[in-house]
Amino acid sequence: MKLIRFKKAQEKIAMGFLSYIPSEKMLRKLQETIQQYICNEHWQLFLYKDHEDYIGLVGVEVNDEARTYTLHHISVNPSFRGEGIGHEMMKELQTIFPGFQCEGTDFTRPFIDSCLRREEGADR
């Protein structure tokens, strides 16, 4: 598994990945988002690490009662885009949260839909 749970010591790395997301460009917004993941146990942030390199980030809000997780943030280092890293992170989330349904926001829903289409195409 290449997704690792975010730790406070990785805050600058996480903020770097979040800054690739258009809605997270401003420093104040980045700091608020990181604090949300640090302070709220239902918000979980993961970094995608391959060997010694951090390549991506994914952040979810988990609802144990409804057995869902909402994808709020997903980001991949521009040097690695187009290689399926985002889809790989989504597969690993399914492993981390077995039996949970993935939901999206206005920002992440199109990406989730593309993952589903990709999986349906692979099943044929």
CA 21 → CA 99, 102, 119, distances in Å? 28, 20, 25
Question: Distance between CA 105 and CA 24 in Å, rounded?
Answer: 14
Report pLDDT for 118.
77
Q: Which band of pLDDT confidence, cut at 50, 70 and 90, is reported for residue 14?
A: very high
Q: Which band of pLDDT confidence, cut at 50, 70 and 90, is reported for residue 18?
A: very high
What's the CATH architecture for 3-123? 3-Layer(aba) Sandwich (3.40)
Task: List pLDDT tens digits, range 23-57.
Answer: 998 999 999 999 999 999 999 999 999 999 999 99
The whole-model pTM stands at 0.92
DSSP string of 20-88, one letter each residue = TSGGG-SHHHHHHHHHHHHH-TTEEEEEEEETTEEEEEEEEEEETTTTEEEEEEEEE-GGGTTSSHHHH
Q: Is the pLDDT of residue 123 over 70?
A: no
